[in-house]
Amino acid sequence: MSLGRASGDGYAIKVIQHTHKDLFMATFTSKTAFLDAILKAYDKLEKSYASLSAEDMTTPGACDDWSVKDILAHVYEWQQMVLRWYAAGERGEVPKTPADDLKWNETPILNERIYQTYRDHDLDDIQRLFKASHESMLALLQTIDDDALFTPAHYAWTKKLNFASYMKSATSSHYDWASKLIRKWAKQRTTESM
């Protein structure tokens, strides 16, 4: 993920842009290996913020203007999008990804929308939503059949990719991204306070 700038409605906003190559390249061919990677990355993410106070969790700066809470909300919403896309695919629909009015090269705009949607939610609410969403992703992974998970274009909306690519982007890849940002930010804050 990289920071970028985009303009909307005549003003500049700070945005986050996903690097699709990093997030969407699924390298797993078994559910067991995939599940293990998700659980390890989630554990690392939880540890990255476990010692932070509520004040630290809601202080901007962990990712540009985003707080740790905002990062968790971001990951939560991306998981919810993937779950909605999956449900639509199961119904034989072809959802517009990443959003009805946006293309993949416009994810900075989508990420800013996500930030604006959740910025005023309280920390406890975001942590509860994030944990429940993670559990939903695990439940889906455990119930989906291997063909639906690993076959490229099994769902029309995934085009040349397999669904595992989308699950990876919303779980282990995002968890790795988030934990790196949080650890770096927490270390920097500790250094600055000395």
DSSP states of 31-84? HHHHHHHHHHHHHHHHHHHTT--HHHHTSTTTBTTB-HHHHHHHHHHHHHHHHH
Phi–psi pair at 53, nearest 5 degrees:
-80, 165
Show the tokens assigned to 24: 């969407």
What does the radius of gyration of the chain's CA atoms come to, in whole angstroms? 17
For the chain, give every domain's residue range.
2-193
pTM for this predicted structure: 0.87
Residue 13 reports pLDDT greater than 50: no
- pLDDT tens per residue across span 107-124: 999 999 999 999 999 999
Residue 137 reports pLDDT greater than 70: yes
Confidence grade of residue 22 (pLDDT, cut at 50, 70, 90) = very low
- pLDDT tens per residue across span 27-86: 677 899 999 999 999 999 999 999 999 999 999 999 999 999 999 999 999 999 999 999
User: Would you call the peptide bond into 60 cis, given omega within 30 degrees of 0 as the criterion?
Assistant: no
Residue 126 reports pLDDT greater than 70: yes
Phi–psi pair at 13, nearest 5 degrees:
-130, 150
pLDDT at 16: 46
If you write DSSP's letter for every residue of 127-172 in order, what string do you get? HHHHHHHHHHHHHHHHHS-HHHHHSTTSSGGGTTS-HHHHHHHHTH
- Measured distance CA(134)–CA(79) in Å, rounded: 8
Q: Residue 92 has what DSSP assignment?
A: T
Percent of the chain with pLDDT over 90: 80
Residue 1 reports pLDDT greater than 50: no
Fold of 2-193: Four Helix Bundle (Hemerythrin (Met), subunit A) (1.20.120)
Asked if 192 contacts 58 with a C-beta cutoff of 8 angstroms, the reply is no
Confidence grade of residue 194 (pLDDT, cut at 50, 70, 90) = low
pLDDT at 158: 95
pLDDT at 26: 53
> Nearest-CA neighbor of 70 among 122, 2, 5, 128?
122
pLDDT at 29: 75
